[in-house]
Amino acid sequence: MKARDRLIVALDVPSVETARDLVKRIGDAATFYKIGYQLAYAGGLALTRELVDQGKQVFLDLKLHDIGNTVEKGAASVAKSGAMFLTVHAYPQTMKAAVAGTGSSGLRILAVTVLTSYDDNDLAEAGYRLNVRDLAARRAAQAKEAGIDGLVCSPEEAAALRRIVGSGMLLVTPGIRPAGSATGDQKRIMTPAKAIAAGADYLVVGRPVTEAADPKAAAASIVADIESAREG
């Protein structure tokens, strides 16, 4: 896989027009885009087909979680949209249903083990007995068992999760900051090169690209950093 195809730009913008404009400005510096709640609920789901028709890949970060029948049918509809990745929460029933919904399409399901905004206290408050590390490890093993294609994880977790799931699953990491860029609200960050070296297959990058004065140059510089990790 080319270094450029490992970068997923998060289109965390309020409108389809803004997203379209950003994709145009980035041009051929990126080939993969993530659509999350903000854009999806502002008409952005329709952008999936438009991007796919332009030869781009789309990651729908919808983090599904419902009864199995609903998740399976939802995933089946997403499969028809042309998206390449869809996220679900890593509950065994939910994961199995999503995998069943993909049928023979090219849609790949990614599982979110434990949201990175949760700490051990948040889990205890929500009624869980396990701490973050143990719950994430347990859910990673369950994801593999359910036939999930990959996990979304912080770059710091990548090496440990790789040991649990082996080489057959994709690891997709947000929390990426090029050296010298603003961290924003991300706490556990890594540079693109370090995240790739830690075992990530794809990097999700939002603000360092979307808020850059020159988003195309910002994307190109991240791709160059990814390339340097793979040569090093």
Integer Cα distance of 26 and 19 in angstroms: 11
CB-CB contact of 48 with 73 (8 Å): no
Cβ 59 to ligand C5P shortest distance, Å:
10
- What does each C-alpha distance from 163 to 61, 108, 157, 169 come to in angstroms? 25, 21, 10, 11
Q: How far apart are CA 140 and CA 28, in angstroms?
A: 34
Closer residue to ligand C5P in complex, CB, 37/80? 37
Tokens of 203: 């990097």
The distance from CA 122 to its chain's CA centroid, rounded to whole angstroms, is 23
Cβ 152 to ligand C5P shortest distance, Å: 5
Measured from the CB atom, is 142 or 186 closer to ligand C5P?
186
- The answer to whether residue 63 is catalytic is yes
Task: Please give the residue ranges that form the binding site for ligand C5P (CB under 6 A).
Answer: 10, 12, 36, 116, 152, 174-175, 184, 186, 204-208
Q: Give the CA angle between residues 159, 164, 167 to the nearest 5°.
A: 75
Task: Indicate which residue of 2, 24, 63, 144 is catalytic.
Answer: 63
Closest distance to ligand C5P from the beta carbon of 205 (Å): 5
Smallest separation (angstroms) from ligand C5P to the CB of 175: 6
Residue with nearest beta carbon to ligand C5P: 206
* Catalytic sites, residue numbers: 63
